[in-house]
Structure 1
Amino acid sequence: MSSILTNNSAMVALQTLKTINNDLSKTQDMISTGKAIGSAKDNAAVWSIATKMSSDANMFNTISDELGVGKATVDVALAGIDQLTGTLDEIEALAVSGKSEGADFTKINEQIEALKEKMDSVVTNSQFNGINLLNDTVDGTSASLNIASSVVRATPGGDSTVDTIEVSATNLSGAGVNNVTFTPLDGTSTTADTVIGEIQAMRTAVLTAGADLGAKSAQIGDQMKFVSAMGDALKAGISVMTDANMEEASAKLQALQVQQQLATQSLSIANQAPQNILSLFR
């Protein structure tokens, strides 16, 4: 039965065209943004996971920077350790020469004092951005430096926390390396041996500090590699969940454009149906 009040064919064709236009709009958005999941309305579950992972990835980027600063701080302290060991070698050589009765002890003592002042300066100035790991405190108050090292999420969807690497101050001043005075040489083997003993005690403290700082530097370096790998893995995971398959989207776009043209023609034909009723009255 034909009706001039209701055009069922046109309604079906119109609904089909609306559906195609809606799919076409989504596909065009997907191509323009490169995202298959761009908001919660696209897929709430996937969007929520991807958003949290993206937050973690950003935190890993920040942590990578913090680790870089932390490693630089430790490496500056290690450079100071190298200077101290070299200077101690020089002082020890002078102390050994002080065993000779014909040595100029006044000059030797002046040289030793100058080198000791150099050591004090090294301990005081081996700092990075105000952080000195060779003193008794790293910043005047704290006995250790905490460096952000990783992001931890205890449960899926749970809150994230930040782990740290703790680097303790080596306290070379407390270990008898900084701001101390050597026994003056006076031409006797006893005083020379005393000075050599003082140097050896200092060297033990310096080498212990160097070993501790070297281990921390290696740990931070390894953590930097891990954090970099984690950041890349997170970005890859987010990409898999949210990025559009551009080859598929391109093929879908062309198919929808054809469907849109056909649906438009179908609607046009359906809209002409009431006109055919007029022929019944001619």
Structure 2
Amino acid sequence: MTSILTNTSAMSALQTLRSINTSLSNTQDRVSSGYKVAQASDNVAYWSISTTMNSDKKALNAAADALGVGAAKVDTAYAAMESAIGAVNEIKAKLVTASEQSTDKGQIQLEISKLQEQLSAIAQGASFSGENWLVTQNTQANVVDGFVREADGTVKVTVATFNVGTYALFSTIGANGLGSGGVLGSIMSVALTSVSTQGDIDGFMNIVEAALSKMTDSAAAIGALQIRVELQDKYSSKLSDAIEAGVSRLIDADMEEESARLSAVQTQQQLAIQSLSIANSSSQNLLSLFRQ
């Protein structure tokens, strides 16, 4: 039965066209934004995961930036420690020279005094962002090295610790600009005079050797921390890339697939419009039945 009041064919064609237009709009949104999951309504599970992981990635990147600051502190301390070892070796050489009876011990002590001042200057200058690991009374320093989400959903910032109190060259720098305490405090007591005996020189040599041994341990500890910081920095970079790639798999649109779908849906839209036009024209055909 054909009715002039209700055109079921046109209604069906219109519903099809509406569905195709919705699909076309969704496909165009994916093509223009690059996302297949741009909001929660697109896919609640994937959107939730991607939102959480993107937040964690930002926190991880912030931790990596903080790690860069920590790396600078470690590098500064290591450079100063190397320079200090060189200065102490010079003091050791001067003491060996002083063992020769014909040398002027007063002149040698003048050189040693300058080296002692240099040691204090090296330690005092080993500061980065207001923090000095080589002149400190603190027992421990921390370097932020990561961000972790536990299995139960809790989060925490991880740190690498360093016992600065054990390895500091000096505990304080006095008003006279000379350091005291710490690994090199005893070296500041080295003082040759014209009446210094070989026994005195040997005693000073033992002080220098003990300090060199401690400084070697300090440099090794700082070097080990450098390695950890470098490895953590590389790991953080790879982890950030892995998180980004994982999130991409969840929410990014496959542009090749979307391009093919866009072409197909546009063709479907054209056919649906043609179908609706044909359905609408059927009522016009009824007029021929009433013509004489």
1:222 equivalent among 218, 221, 231: 231
Partner residue in 2 for 1:148: 144
Tell me how far apart the structure 1 counterparts of residues 98 and 36 of structure 2 sit (CA, whole Å): 80
Please report how far the alpha carbon of residue 176 of structure 1 lies from its aligned counterpart in structure 2 after TM superposition.
4.1
1:183 equivalent to 2:203? Answer no
Tell me how far apart the structure 1 counterparts of residues 211 and 74 of structure 2 sit (CA, whole Å): 20
1:252 equivalent among 222, 246, 261: 261
2:250 equivalent among 225, 231, 241: 241
Measured on the aligned residues, the alpha-carbon RMSD in Å equals 1.6
1:166 equivalent to 2:175? Answer no
Count of aligned pairs between the two proteins: 277
Q: Which amino acid aligns with 1:241?
A: L
Residues 106-159 of structure 1, C-alpha deviations (whole Å, 9 max, x = no match): 11111101100100111111111111111224xxxx543322222211127x24
Please report how far the alpha carbon of residue 280 of structure 1 lies from its aligned counterpart in structure 2 after TM superposition.
2.7
In structure 2, stretches of 5+ residues that fail to align are 171-180
For residues 1-282 of structure 1, the aligned pairs below 5 Å read 1-137=1-137, 143-155=139-151, 158-169=153-164, 170-173=167-170, 174-178=181-185, 180-185=188-193, 186-282=195-291
Preserved contact between residue 120 and residue 178 of structure 1 (Cα < 8 Å): no
SS of 1:272's equivalent? helix
Q: Percent identity?
A: 39
Preserved contact between residue 183 and residue 194 of structure 1 (Cα < 8 Å): no
Residues 23-44 of structure 1, C-alpha deviations (whole Å, 9 max, x = no match): 1111111111111111111101
Please report how far the alpha carbon of residue 178 of structure 1 lies from its aligned counterpart in structure 2 after TM superposition.
4.3
Please report how far the alpha carbon of residue 242 of structure 1 lies from its aligned counterpart in structure 2 after TM superposition.
1.1
Please report how far the alpha carbon of residue 5 of structure 1 lies from its aligned counterpart in structure 2 after TM superposition.
1.6
Moved over 4 A (4+): none
SS of 2:5's equivalent? coil
Please report how far the alpha carbon of residue 184 of structure 1 lies from its aligned counterpart in structure 2 after TM superposition.
2.4
TM-score, length-scaled by structure 1: 0.93
Preserved contact between residue 109 and residue 191 of structure 2 (Cα < 8 Å): no
Preserved contact between residue 119 and residue 178 of structure 1 (Cα < 8 Å): no
